[in-house]
Amino acid sequence: MRLFDLFRPFRLTPAPVSALPARAKTMRFRPYQLIGTHFLRTVKRGVLCDAPGLGKTFQATEATELPAIISCPVNLCDQWAEFIAAEYPQDRVSVAAYGTPRERQSAIDAEWDWLIVNHDMWRKYFMPSINTLILDEMHHFRGRNAKRSEMLALRAQMTPRVYGLTATPIYKDVSDLYHLLHVLDPSAWKSYWQFVDRYAITADYGYGVKIVRTKPHTDLRSQLIKYMLGRTYKDVGMYLPPRIDKQVVLRLTKPQQDAYIRIKQDYKLKLDDGTYKRFFNASEVEHTLRRFTMTPEKIATIHRIIDDTPMYSDGNGDARTDRKPEPVIVFTKYRESASRIAEALGGALITGDMDPRERRTTALYAKQRVRVATIDSITEGVDLSDYRTVIFAEEDYVPGKQYQALSRVLRHRPDGRQGPVIVYYIRYQRTVDMAVHRAVQTRITDAGDVVREALADT
């Protein structure tokens, strides 16, 4: 049995439309969303495991009883805030995910209906009592011994409604489910090792116990149906697009923003030894600003996206030795950026100064799951049709280059290839990242226009 089938329903029974009028300003229920919302309202402590793009956010907010806390990765906090503000304008929203500890605590102490925090805040901040706790990308809490997972579990025990949202409840093996279930129902799921003994086949190679695969013929599916509901595009009868674009927008910190503005205005960059490097034209400044936006936070965001990506497209997360995880490719504009990301993520590096045959071999057969490539290095003859996840850490303002790189992934898909290609675009607000992204989308190929927009006060 595929692991994804463990939390798919035996049947889909719709709830009466009249029983669930949408509170949202513009959005209306699709039939399967009605089922998902009804499921959350009924079980009170459950997880939606729908495929990406099926509207888990809307289903969760419609099932919410206020006040509520939304916990999500830091790169999704603004998206949640914008969604709540647009669809529930009568509700008060407070975002406590940014700023100094005092600023975050002030946001927590404010008057609100919805409080948005990032996952890491559970380590240090005491969260107030609420009626609903929404955990976006809930699988981030699968590590049962992590401090944030422990503190989250304590708050969840004292909260009437806990809604988890994740398309990847199982990232590596069946044990990933344990702490998610413990958060929902600690009285029923008390012991990790009892869970492993009951549901997993293990082996000890001298370095500790390793989970090999899920045990067949257990009651796990009947247990999970009490807590989890997951639907694919096929389940809900929706057209499966060949490509899904996801926008990931980040914020510079205050010190980073100040440094960015100084470079833009003064045409000089302060070096580590306290001296300054001066620039003599706008093009130099533009390239420096682009490199400036390759921050540790952006690299950490790439890591989180990969962590959120299923290792196998068919939903089977068994740690079998006869299968290789699906590869992920990260594109950059600059070789230095590609090198930094590859080093940080332990990925394979592909650059234009490599022999074309070596690029092709690395793209197809590298041992590492993550391959990091400069956009210019992926040319004709490099087949990326095995990839379903593409991440643009940097974009090229010449649309043709970027589209050529994407075409290596999107065309000539093998027969029977399941699922769309998901393309992530990561960029910082009010920076050159935004100017380049707009250039690509509008097909502006004049480098001068990009530079002028990047250096303007935006």
Domain segments of the chain: what residues?
Answer: 3-236, 243-455
How many other CB atoms sit within 10 Å of the CB of residue 444?
18
243-455 shares the fold of 3-236: yes
Q: Which residue has the tokens 């299923």?
A: 310
Q: List per-residue pLDDT tens for the chain, 458 residues long.
A: 455 566 665 444 555 544 567 888 988 888 889 999 999 999 999 999 988 778 899 999 999 999 999 999 887 888 899 899 999 999 999 999 988 999 999 999 999 999 999 999 999 999 999 999 999 999 889 888 899 999 999 999 999 999 999 988 887 788 889 999 999 999 999 999 999 888 888 887 767 777 777 887 778 888 888 899 988 777 777 665 677 888 898 989 888 888 888 887 777 666 666 676 676 677 777 788 888 899 999 999 999 899 888 776 554 444 444 457 889 999 999 999 999 999 999 999 999 888 877 888 898 888 999 999 998 887 656 767 778 899 999 988 776 677 777 777 765 444 444 567 889 999 998 888 887 887 777 655 555 565 566 566 54
Displacement of CA 46 from its chain's centroid (Å): 20
243-455 is a CATH 3.30.70.20 domain:
no
Closest listed residue to residue 4, CA positions, set 206, 295, 217, 224:
224
SS3 159: coil
Domain covering 3-236 in this structure, CATH number = 3.40.50.10810
- CB neighbours of residue 241 within 10 Å: 11
Other CB atoms within 10 A of residue 131 CB: 13
Partnered with residue 161 across adjacent β-strands are: 132
What the block records as the tokens of 457 is 């006060």
268-270 vs 276-278, strand pairing mode = antiparallel
* Closest to 342 (Cα-Cα) out of 365, 360, 316, 369: 369
76 exposure class (CB count in 10 Å sphere: 0-12, 13-18, 19+) = buried
Contact 47, 180 (CB under 8 A): yes
pLDDT recorded at residue 321: 43
pTM of the model: 0.70
Cis peptide before 399 (omega within 30 of 0): no
End-to-end CA distance of the chain: 52
Q: List, in order, residues 6 or more apart from 223 with CB less than 8 Å away.
A: none
